[in-house]
Every structure is written in C-alpha cells, then in structure tokens.
Structure 1
C-alpha cells in the first residue's frame, strides 16, 4: 500500500519536474527570440535626445545631492558614487608607435606620444565599505597637459582629458528616464523599487536587475587585474566607439602578488601598495576602442546593450604603464579625494554621446562643485 502511494507520488513529482523544465525551456526560448527580435539592427549613428531629458536631469541632481549628504563621512562630503579609492597613482599613457591612420584621433593622433596621467582606482558604492563586499570597481584616468579647448573645463581642469570606466561591459540602466526612477528609489532606501517600480509586470526591469547583480562582483585579487569599460559610447574623431582598459601583464616584468588577507577592510589598497611600493613592480594595461557598426544592434542611447565583439573587435590604441611608486601618504590621499573626473573634460574629438553621458555632464559637475564647497576645498584638478 505504502509502496504504491510512494510510486504514484514519485511519478507525480517526476511529471511536475518535467513540466517545469519544459516551461522553463519554452520561456527561455521565447525570451531569446524576443530579444533577438528587439535587439536587431540597424540603429542610428546619431544621438536622439528625448524632450523631457533636461527636466529629468535636474531632478536627478537633487537626488544625487541627497545621497552625498546621507553618506557623509563625519563632516566630509564624499562622492555620490565610487566614494572609496584604493589609491591615486601616476601613470604613463603611450600611443602605439604603429597605430593605423584611421585610429589616430584626438589624444591618440601622434603615434609614440606619451601622456603623463593620474589614475584613480575605486569601489563603486556611494559609501566606503569592506573590499570583500560585492561591488562594482572603477578606474578613472586623467591625462595631463593636453592642449586644446575642452568641452567642459575650469581654469584648474583646462589641460585635462578624462576617461571614466567600471568593471562591467553593460550598464544596468537604459536611459535618463529609467535612471531617474532607479536612482530616486535607491536614494529613498527602496532598493526593490529600483527594478520593480509597480505591480505591473510591464514595468519590471528583470534584464537590468541581472546586469546589476553581475556588476556587483566579488573583489579581484588586485585592482590592476581587472578589465574596465566605458559602457557608454563616445566620439573618436568621425567614429562612434566604446573603450576599455585591459590588464597587459606581458608588457611588464613577471610578478606574482603574495596572497592577501581578504578579511582586511582595505585589502585592495594593500595589494596595490604591495606591488607598486614594496615590491617595486610596475603594472601594465592596454587601452582599446570598439567601433560602432550601425548596421547591427549597437545603440548609442542604450548602454545596457553590450556591443558584439564578434561584429566589431576591440583594437588597442595605447598602452598604460603604472610605474613603481609610493602613493599611500596622507597628502596624496587627500589630493586623490579632491580630484574630479568627468568624461566631459575632453577634446571635441572624444565627445561623450548618449543619454547617460549627457546626464553625467550635469550631475558630475554639480556634485563636484557641491562636494568641494561643502568640504571647504578649492575646485580640484
């Protein structure tokens, strides 16, 4: 009797499991077909600016100011994102000596040219937390003494050309309208509402939630062993591109980082200090660009879509060397905290494009001015 009941129960569970597998496969197939249809080219090679974007941007600036006030460190106002730095280090960015003519644009127009630069490595959160916490990781590069008028600059930043990146190839937000809704929910402490703004499933952003969860990755062994992406597109002379920085250890002396104590709150800074300051071994990267092919789904206004490397491979345009150096001093850490990075600190040949980049122009500038005023510091370089 019990055996028959058990066998029937097993058959029932088996049928239920099989049904769930079939439904899951059908759902997966339908999703793949939907996105293959939705994410198909061609796309525009020009920006398309929604009429309500300016008003939304002003609201986002107000929310960003709320965030920096919420996360004040005692009396000091921090950045609204990437508040915790692992260090600011000196770097050398060298244009390839044999760079092909079509890629000789802007600061990369002179083959063999080496720019002196500052590089800031950071966690992504708006409040400093232990490095072992899942988080985005950022790299910002500031080329120095770059001649020419910039798209956005002050007297202090007139010679700067900035590149701002983080360690995932896609952003978890589509456009300024979604950013406004998502950021406001997080500023109010309602993180679930960031991707599920209502009970209507049509408003849910499950794909973007998946991207966000992938972005919040475990910490690398060291900040110089990670790939960093621009995510949003930029001009590159006549081209539309995305760029990234990848580790290039083969261009530096061989080095094996000693195992780090990942329970320490700042072990990523310790790893950087171990390599550059104690062991005196430089770190090397390659800076690459990926050209838009508008015949395929490589949109300018949706940075949540990763451009296909099969269609348009990344091409190296410069090398980056971070020489051995002492960087972890009180004076340099304060200097690092006062640095402002903005992708609009740029030559016209490198103009940021797309909604998220247009948003950055206003928000980064407003938060930087507010932060330095509140901290009693002059506007930084």
Structure 2
C-alpha cells in the first residue's frame, strides 16, 4: 500500500484529474457532444419557479430570502454514472438555476449575471473531508479506501437504490455563508409529488421514465430548507464527512421549488439543460460557499463548463433571461 500524505496544490491536481484526464480524454476519444466530467447521466430537465416563503423570521431574511419573491427556475436531475451503466445504487444530483436575481454574485466574471445556482445530492455527506483528502484519495483510490474506514462506510451508504429523484431528500453537502456572521447548509425535501409506478431498478433509464411520468401527471412541490450552523464543533465547515445533526439544528423551510405539469421530452428541454452550467459560487455575496471542496468546485466546474461550451459551440457566458416555459404567439 502506498498512500501519499500531502498534496502541494490539491485544487490544481483535481482540476487536472477532472478536466485533462477525464473530460479532455473523452473528447480525444471522440465524445460528441462534449459532456460534463461528472453527473453526466441526464435524468431530465424541467422548468419551474422558486417561491420564497412569506413572513420568514428576521434571522432568515438574508440575501436571496430577504423578500418573498418568486424566481423562474430551470432544474437538471442527473446521476454520477456514464451512459449505459445501470442506475442502481448511484448518486443522484440536482442543479437548480434561478433567473432574475438582482445583486452582485461571487463568481468571476459573472458578478453581474442575473442567475443563482444551487447544487444538491441525495446523501448528506461527502466521502472525504476536504480538497487535500480528495486529491490524495484519487492518487491511489484502492489504497485510500484500505486506509480509511470512514470513506469505505460512506461510499457503501451512498450506494442505495433510488425509487424516484423526486422522492429523494437532497443536501448541499458543503456549507455556505448566511449573511455576515452565520453559516448554513441547504436541503430539499419532497412536499407534494404524484404517485409513480413501482420502479424496475434494473431497467435502463428508469429514473428518467419515472420523472417524465410524474411530471406529466401533476405539479411537484419541493421544500427548500436552510440548516443554520449552531455549534462550531459538531457542525464543522471543512469536514465534509461529518453530517450536521438535524436535532442540534433543524432545517427550516425558506422557499418552495414548484415544477408544473410538463412534458420534459418536449421542446428539446434536455438539450437546453445540457447547455446550462451550474456552479455553487454563482450566488449572492451573502451566500458565498465555504471550505476547500467549495474552492475546488469553483475552479473545476467553471473550467469544465468552458471546455464543454467551447467544443459544443455554445455561448460561453451565462444566459441573461430564462427560456420561456412555453412559446407565446
């Protein structure tokens, strides 16, 4: 076993791994159109709206949640597996892009863009603590697993069958500022969802089929929650394997993500969704991400989006307005 103990520049090493050794390698092998290096299996793209809860307590009226506004939204559900692989036991991710959000953003050069992004997954913790550990782990993953029982246990817990992406609880995993002096994590919980068919976990694309059927049937409502950091010791900011206890700090409902009835297979919604780029740093200053994993995601997600858009001939910048939910004559 040969486990390194330090990486001089973990973010640069992770960027090389995901961009040069993963994304660019696939491009050289003929991938067309160019895809994301992670969460590339698309389950579906949907339009909706993000309604901030009215009459929030003053301590929660921060940044995006300061006023009871409604923002247009587009969402992308995905799995962290390549096409053709079975979906059993794979991580589900959700990217949310809000439009019409005023205020300076954290991500350069998009500080003046009118968009805000959220990224969540269906497990509350990550398999390593920080960017340093992530870079070390990927140098020799088998050796890292052998030496780290916590990583092995988390990866085993993440391999769970998902009945429906809409029924899944989702977490931001990384923390964010919540104003000047507080920190938080985000969570999504299902509120109102149409009944779906019993899943055939071995059927190719069963998650996409389920999402399509449910959104053809009824409106979906998902609670967007904020979990405030109440204890520095048991709710650390740069230890991503550590779950923030919901007894110590219960997540609070601050907004509702509403996906109306729609046909996600129509109007090339999937094509539109694949042109969108999501980055946790594309957010208001009051909600700046925290920790080394957030710093790594900032660099890698931005580089990946630039490569993808360049090779696919997409516009490189952020969209200034949302795609309409329907074409009005």
Query: Quick one: distance in 1 between partners of 2:90 and 2:25?
Result: 19
Deviation, structure 1 residue 123: 0.5
Q: Contact 1:161 / 1:345 at 8 angstroms: preserved in 2?
A: yes
Query: Quick one: distance in 2 between partners of 1:155 and 1:301?
Result: 26
Q: Contact 1:118 / 1:142 at 8 angstroms: preserved in 2?
A: yes
Q: CA RMSD in A?
A: 2.1
Give the structure 1 partner of residue 266 of structure 2: 329
* 1:336 counterpart SS class: helix
* 1:163 counterpart SS class: strand
For residue 297 of structure 2, the aligned residue among 328, 340, 360 is: 360
* 2:189 counterpart SS class: strand
* 1:116 counterpart SS class: strand
For residue 181 of structure 1, the aligned residue among 124, 136, 139 is: 136
1:259 maps onto 2:198 in alignment: yes
Give the structure 1 partner of residue 123 of structure 2: 168
Q: Contact 1:338 / 1:380 at 8 angstroms: preserved in 2?
A: no
For residue 193 of structure 1, the aligned residue among 124, 131, 143 is: 143
Query: Quick one: distance in 1 between partners of 2:277 and 2:45?
Result: 12
Deviation, structure 1 residue 380: 5.6
Distance 1:137 1:102, change over 3 A: same
Distance 1:102 1:282, change over 3 A: same
Deviation, structure 1 residue 76: 2.7
Q: Contact 1:64 / 1:363 at 8 angstroms: preserved in 2?
A: yes
Give the structure 2 partner of residue 5 of structure 1: none
Query: Quick one: distance in 2 between partners of 1:235 and 1:53?
Result: 27
For residue 110 of structure 1, the aligned residue among 67, 91, 102 is: 67
Q: Contact 1:91 / 1:116 at 8 angstroms: preserved in 2?
A: yes
Deviations 1:281-329 (A, max 9, x none): 0111101111112354211111110011111111111111111012213
Q: Contact 1:233 / 1:300 at 8 angstroms: preserved in 2?
A: yes
For residue 213 of structure 1, the aligned residue among 149, 153, 156 is: 156
Q: Contact 1:63 / 1:184 at 8 angstroms: preserved in 2?
A: no
Q: Which runs of 4+ in 1 moved over 6 A?
A: none
Deviates more, 1:76-85 or 1:340-349: 76-85
Query: Quick one: distance in 2 between partners of 1:193 and 1:330?
Result: 47
After TM superposition, the structure 1 = structure 2 runs for residues 27-42 of structure 1, keeping only pairs within 5 Å, are none
* 1:207 counterpart SS class: helix
Deviation, structure 1 residue 371: 1.9
1:274 maps onto 2:213 in alignment: yes
Query: Quick one: distance in 2 between partners of 1:266 and 1:156?
Result: 37
* 1:158 counterpart SS class: coil
The structure in which a higher percent of residues are helix is 1
Query: Quick one: distance in 2 between partners of 1:221 and 1:234?
Result: 29
* 1:248 counterpart SS class: strand
Query: Quick one: distance in 2 between partners of 1:262 and 1:167?
Result: 17
For residue 248 of structure 1, the aligned residue among 191, 200, 203 is: 191
Alignment TM-score, normalising by the size of structure 2: 0.87
Q: Contact 2:188 / 2:223 at 8 angstroms: preserved in 1?
A: yes
Q: Contact 1:130 / 1:266 at 8 angstroms: preserved in 2?
A: no
